[in-house]
Structure 1
Amino acid sequence: MDQRTNYSTGSPWEDIVGYSRAVKVGNVIEVTGTVADDKGQLLGGNDPYLQTKFVLEKIKETLEKAGATLEHVVRTRIFVTNIEQWEAIGKAHQEYFGDIKPCTTMVEVSRLIDDKYLVEIEATAIIES
């Protein structure tokens, strides 16, 4: 197996649940489900567009730590608590990925880890080996 590198944000949840913000194996980087949270503070309030922008910024920062950029993203998975907000969420996603156009899936879920979160996004990136 290729060398594995785990990336952490220092969130207490990473140790409690047993996960990493991202894992890089070989030329693949997987970014875990990401919500609009910064050190316990909700970012973007009750606005799905703003929450999505904050989530995508966190994903972008994580990818950069792992040696990638948004241009390396080949897939995103978007989990939303209200599919009727798809246009606002999609608008933010388009602003980050409009020219990149990764594969994506958006599905409605009954709830996320906390009711204040409206969207959670995962990403897969592949960098040149």
Structure 2
Amino acid sequence: MTRTLISSGSPFEEQIGYSRAVVAGDWVFVSGTTGFDYASMTISDDVVAQAEQCFQNIAAALREAGATLDDVVRVTYVLPDASLFEACWPVLRQHLGRARPAAMMISAGLLDPRMKIEIEVTALRQA
């Protein structure tokens, strides 16, 4: 099985040693993705805006892999402050409402205190 590595250009990928996504066969594994705008390396203070940016970053990786958000079968959300999760629900529904993947939410600390949400997905490309 061929593996294809996808990078977003985020300096974190080079510094830590990982790929934004890995394509293995028809599977696409997208790393935990935060709300950083990788072009400017800026991040909003607002959790909802961060969630939206997460999905923009994830969608870009999926596009490069030949998949879309509609192909997502599994999602994990990580928030340092669980009380902020509900505010994100409309954004989550907007981007994954058609796919309706299996999901999990974890409350845990993230690498940078500015990060309020991190989202990881697994997608299965359609034949």
TM-score band, normalised by shorter chain: over 0.9
**Mapped contact 2:47–2:88 kept (Cα < 8 A):** yes
Q: Once the two structures are superposed, what CA deviation does each residue of 1:47-101 show, in whole Å capped at 9, x if it has no partner?
A: 1111101101110111001100111100110000111111112221011111221
1:4 corresponding residue in structure 2: 3
Counterpart code for 2:72? V
Q: Indicate the percent of aligned positions where both proteins have the same amino acid.
A: 34
Unaligned runs of 5+ in 1: none
2:53 corresponding residue in structure 1: 54
1:41 corresponding residue in structure 2: 42
Structure 2: distance between partners of 1:83 and 1:12: 27
Displacement, 1:121? 0.4
Runs of 4+ aligned residues of structure 1 deviating over 6 Å after TM superposition are none
Displacement, 1:38? 2.0
- Provide the aligned length of Structure 1 versus Structure 2: 125
Q: TM-score, normalised by structure 2?
A: 0.93
2:101 corresponding residue in structure 1: 102
Q: TM-score, normalised by structure 1?
A: 0.92
Q: Tell me the C-alpha RMSD between the 2 structures.
A: 1.1
Structure 2: distance between partners of 1:16 and 1:57: 22
